[in-house]
Every structure is written in structure tokens, then in C-alpha cells.
Chain A
């Protein structure tokens, strides 16, 4: 009964510690480490714990095989977790960067995405007249009516019959004023009125034949690729052409999908939105582009995050039991030594601290190794998917951010904590006489 209550109490304690650990910001962790180091250096029991721990750690080299189980096991968990989360992060980041707080996008009411929206000619001429839009040097409002459609193009590295979908944007001059980050990096810009395309560098990587000078077929028409542009965001996965010519090819007449405007300043957004949405001639939704693109990435990011954490959890359980196994064996091998220490007057605490410290150290090495591997292999690794809200392949780069590495380290230490605490407590609670008699 007493034993049962003790174990129950231990489990509750572990749950509380884990919960607190998840909540703890990095300043807290550093504070904790400092307090712990001070305790070890300055107090009597701390120094005892330190000396016991140093004995255990100095023998680690002899147990390199079984210690490697902890390190590699935890490195695996952290590596996979960080890589999966980096995928979500990279995806969300690419879309987030596409938007900004000082540009707004106007679409027909309750359209979930640009490609579903249709604005007729009257709306397209009305929208730029609203107040709050920035003016260019000639006094014209900076507003870019754009058409968004999909085009089928052959994918790179697969048989010619396999076609993928790319988002094709028909734009005018103002598109460059609205998005100053878009630059032509190779070839030249398309000429208005011609069947010419410029391609994003992400799209050029995904699809076959998107090289300046080549022609591609859209339906039964030949289009010439004349340049490559780079924007560093989701636009990189698009192909741009002259809005009028694209509209002609896709039989869209004078309608457009959206109007993106540069706001005079972010504070004029509310006025702009209220004016457009209050205009009875228009049925439109107005969003800042940062809102619009963040919302697009929401669902997918959540899915990747849930998958990453689920996979990480299952792997963590495996690694945790591996760590338990190793530490139980380590404690059993040193049972006599530990019992001797206790026989000559060491209390239980230094023993617990020593075993825990050893496990956490191995876990830390594992976490660092896993994070480093994930960073080396996956940072900047490009992936692609059919993004929600667009009709083309969106390519993005995995992003292993310091925050993610930190998350990985926290996981590693949590696994080490659980993997160490049970063996530590067993070592401290084993009756001295039994332990001495063993072997």
C-alpha cells in the first residue's frame, strides 16, 4: 500500500514537472540551470551529488554502447520532430511573407481564394477610386487588378504525359508597384500584348521547359518564356503574363479575380475596407494580404503540426523506454557501488541527482545531435505541395529555426528526465543490505 501510494505520488509529480517544463520559457530554463549549478557548487549536499555524478559520468566511456542507445534514440526523435515541424514552419512562413500589413486584397464576397473570385469590369474600375490607396509619382492609385488561373504544364523528372498545375497570374504594370520585392533575375519582363511569360524561380524548378527562350503550350497556344523572377515568397511558384492576353486565352473577357492595392499607410486600411464594403455597387471582401495569406496556410500548417507531434510522441515513447532500459542496466551494474556510498552515509538525494544528471547529459547530447542533423539536412531543403487556396504547386523551403531547435532540446530533456527518474529512484530506495548482497 505504501509502495503504491509512493508510485502514484511519483507519477503525479512527473506529470506536474512535465507540464511546467512545457510552459517554461527559455529564461526560466537558464535560471533553473544557474540555481542548480550554484546548489552543486555551494552546498554540502550539492557537492556530494556532484562527486557521485562525476564518478558515474567518468565511467560513461566504458558503457559507450548502451549509452549510445540513449543518445541515438533521442537524436532520432528530435531529428524527425524538428524536420516535420520545420516543414510546417517553412510552409507557413512562405505564405506569411507573401502578405504584408500595408497591402490589401479585394475579392468578390465570400470567395475562399483568389482563383474562385470574379470581379467584373465595373468593380475593377471602381475599386481603385476608393480612399486610402497610396498614389504613385504620377498621382495614380497603386492598385493592381489581377487574374488568377491555373495552367497545366509538364512536370520535371516524370514522363511527358504527367502534367502538373501551376498558378498563372495575369498582371499589369501596377503589379510591380504593389510587390516591390518581385525582381526579374534572368531574361527580361514580358511585353504587354504579347504571349510572353515570366516564371517564378520556384516554378522553374518544378516544371519542365520554363527556361527563357523556350516556348510552352497553354491549351493550343504557344507562349514564350522570356524571363525568370524571384520574390522570396509564394509568388516564386507562379507564372506571370499580361493580364489582357491571359484573359483572352482563358476567355475571361474584362473580368479579373482580385485587386491588390498598396495602402497609403497601414492605418488607412479600416477606412478603405469600410468604404468598399459599404458601397452598394460592390459585393466584395477586403483583407490585408497578411491576413489573407496567413489564413490560407492555417489548415495545412495545423495538419503538419499535428502529424509532427503525433509521430514525435510515439517515437518519444520508444526512446524513453530505451533510455529507461539503459539506465536500469547502468544502475544495476553499479548497485554495489551505490549501496556502499549509502552505507558510508550518503543520503538518497545525491544518488538520485547523480543518475538523473547522467541521463539528462546523454539526452542533451542526443538532442543537440538530432537538432544539428535536422538543421544540416533539412534547413533550406525544398519541398512542394498543392497549397490550399491556390491552384498550383507551391514550393517552399523547410526552415529549421532556433525556436524549433529549442523545442527539440526541450523534448530531449523531457525524455531524459522520465528515462532517468525511475532508475534513479530505484537506486536510491534499494535497501543497502540487499544491494550489497547482490551478485
Chain B
């Protein structure tokens, strides 16, 4: 620690070069921070404690196939089931069919199964009492400038009403807030309407539901409960498939894209370049300081101390740039998310990314420093001072 001043002075001996290298390192770690945040959010989707407690039951045939509503009472009787609700995909779109909104037609108790969602008691009551009432996510409301009390037209891209029109009108009675601001992006974006109103208005649904959501009383029993639920409709014409919400989401994300591979290859290219770039800087730094290092040795620094000083210099360079880069990433991400008006919802840089980042900084720093440091260590005082 007492040599920090010396290392610092050596690092900024050539300001331009160090600053230019730092900017490159900052850029690399800025990219790392942003991409790793995306990767973790993909990996962590649905991985909450609540997600492990909820089971999703859909048709075994495919996710677009519906199930009879009569299953609800049968599922409720399965031992270990605490609560059950159901929902339908409404396929809503606002103003333009391509402006899709995550909209679900749900049973009123749907919200009870999602403790992550917050709705004020008054708004909840208003929802229960209003047939055409809807609850909208905070960010969704912001995106379209909706307020409680508004009457909004919503197109369904799937379901027409009895007159054959696909323009539905709803009353906004409340706003959904997500309890965990960081990971609850999805709940802020959805729209809930009454299943009953939906079913009565469209001639196409005829009392079917898209999927059931079940909350189990004991997480360890989840597998058994899932099997019991599937057993109810085995060999019928509506066989079901029940998974924990965790497993279902992970599967979904995996089908969407192999984010890990994409992020991995980009970062591989970036860090390889970074290795070369900062390696070059360190090599230059040691080469032009040859005589200074020889002086250090002359006044009694051991070979190993010189090795350590050069290594520390390169690690410090990487840490400095890396921390600034990751810091910038955590600053920029919320700005990008806010700027997109809820369209993009990037997670912030998590503790996991920071730790991985720090490990990378130190590892790259050591790797980059090792050649110049060896060179400094093996320096022969007489030759170095003579400029040979």
C-alpha cells in the first residue's frame, strides 16, 4: 500500500497515453456492464421465490390451445394447492395492431396470487365492482399517457365482440405498481381485464381459459402437485402440462435466443482486443522507464518488488478504467430505459455483474502486466543504466 503513490506516479507519467488507454478500457467495460445486465436479466427471469411457488397449467397440445373452465374446481381440490386462478391471452393493441399490449383477461383473484403486484385497496375494489374496468401497469400507463378514470379503446388482435367489431372499450380503474422496482419490469407493463366480461362479450371463447395459475402451500411439494394437476385431465381431449413459473419462463427465454452465447462471443472479441491494447501500453511504459526501474533496483528494491510494482500498475490501470466503465453502465442504463418510455426495460448492473467485472479486471490486469513485469524483474542494472 505504501507504494501506491509511486505506482500512481508511474501510471500517469505519460498522461496522454494512459488516458487514451483508459478510455479504451472504459469502453470495453461499459459494453460488458450493459451486455451482462441483459444476460443476467434473461437468466433470472422468473427465478424469484414467488415464481417457484406458482405453477402454470396450460394445454399440453400447445400454448394457444384453451382449457375448460370446469378444471378450476378440480385443481382447487388437489392437496397442496393454496389458491388457483386463470387467465386468457387477450391480444390487445392500442391504436395500431402492431402496438401490442400484454393484456390478460383474468379472474378477479388473479392479483392475490401475485404478491409482487401492488394495487391500492380502493382501486382494487373499483376493479371488482366495474365490469368493464381494467388495471394497467405503471409504465404502460406512462407510455400511452393513461390516467385512472380514462375510457380507452383497445383493439383485440384475436377476439371480436358479438357484433363482430374488434374495438373494445374499457375504463381504467387503477394502476398496477410493481413492488420490486428492479426486477418487476413485466408487471409494470401489463393490462388486466375481467375474464367474465371478456367471455360474455366475445362469441369465440365459450367459457374456456388460456391457462391456470396455482399457488402451492409448500414449494417442496410443487412437483407432486404439478403431477397431480396433470393427472386430472390425463387421457381426456384436453390434457394439461404443468410447470413451475420458473421452469416455464426459463424455457421461454431459451427459445427466444441464446443470449449467453451472443454476449459471450461479443465479450470474447472485446476482451481479446483489450488484452492486446493495454498490453501494448504496459510494454511501452516499461520500455521507456528502463533506466528508472534500474535506479529503483540500485537503491535496493528487490527483483520481486519491481515485478510487483509493474503488475500493480497494470492491475490499477485496468481497475481504474473498469470501475469507471461499469459505473458509467449503471448510470446510462436507467437513462436509456427512461428515454425509451417503457419500451425497453433494461435491468441495472447487479452485484453479480460487478463481481464478475472486478474479477475480469484483475485477471486481465495480471495477464497484461506479466510480460512487462518479467522484463522489469530480469533487468540487469548495469545494462539498463548504460542504455544497452
Contacts and interface: CB of A to CB of B under 8 A. Distances in A.
Nearest to A249: B61
A161 B59 CA distance: 15
Contacts of A83: 265
B63 A319 contact: no
B257 interface: yes
Interface string B54-66: 0000011111110
Interface stretch (A51-59, A104-112, A260-268, A356-364): A104-112
B273 A322 contact: yes
B251 A149 contact: no
Nearest to B23: A321
Interface in A52-74: 65-66, 68-69, 72-73
A280 to B, nearest CB: 11
Interface centre among B24, B65, B235 (most CB of A within 10 A): B24
Given A118-B204, A219-B61, A322-B24, A111 B158 contact: yes
B328 to A, nearest CB: 10
A220 B277 contact: no
A311 B31 contact: yes
A150 B272 CA distance: 42
Contacts of B236: 220
B157 interface: yes
A241 interface: no
A385 interface: yes
Interface residues of A, number: 59
Interface in A139-171: 149-152, 155, 158, 161-165, 168
B73 interface: no
Interface in B1-47: 16-17, 20-21, 23-25, 27-28, 30-31, 35
B24 A318 contact: yes
Nearest to B253: A386
Q: How large is the interface on B (under 10, 10 to 19, 20 to 34, 35 or more residues)?
A: 35 or more
Interface stretch (A177-185, A208-216, A324-332, A399-407): A324-332
A149 B273 contact: no
B166 A112 contact: no
Nearest to B30: A314
Contacts of B266: 80, 84, 311
Interface string B263-276: 00110011011101
Interface of B: 16-17, 20-21, 23-25, 27-28, 30-31, 35, 59-65, 91, 93, 97-98, 100, 155, 157-158, 160, 164, 166, 204, 235-237, 239, 241, 247, 251-252, 254-258, 265-266, 269-270, 272-274, 276-277, 280-281, 283-284
Interface of A: 65-66, 68-69, 72-73, 76, 79-80, 83-84, 109-113, 115-116, 118, 149-152, 155, 158, 161-165, 168, 218-220, 249-251, 283, 295, 299, 311, 314-315, 317-319, 321-322, 324-326, 328-329, 383-386, 391, 393
Closest 7 pairs between A and B when the two form their complex, measured CB to CB: A318-B27, A150-B62, A219-B61, A76-B273, A325-B20, A112-B157, A321-B23
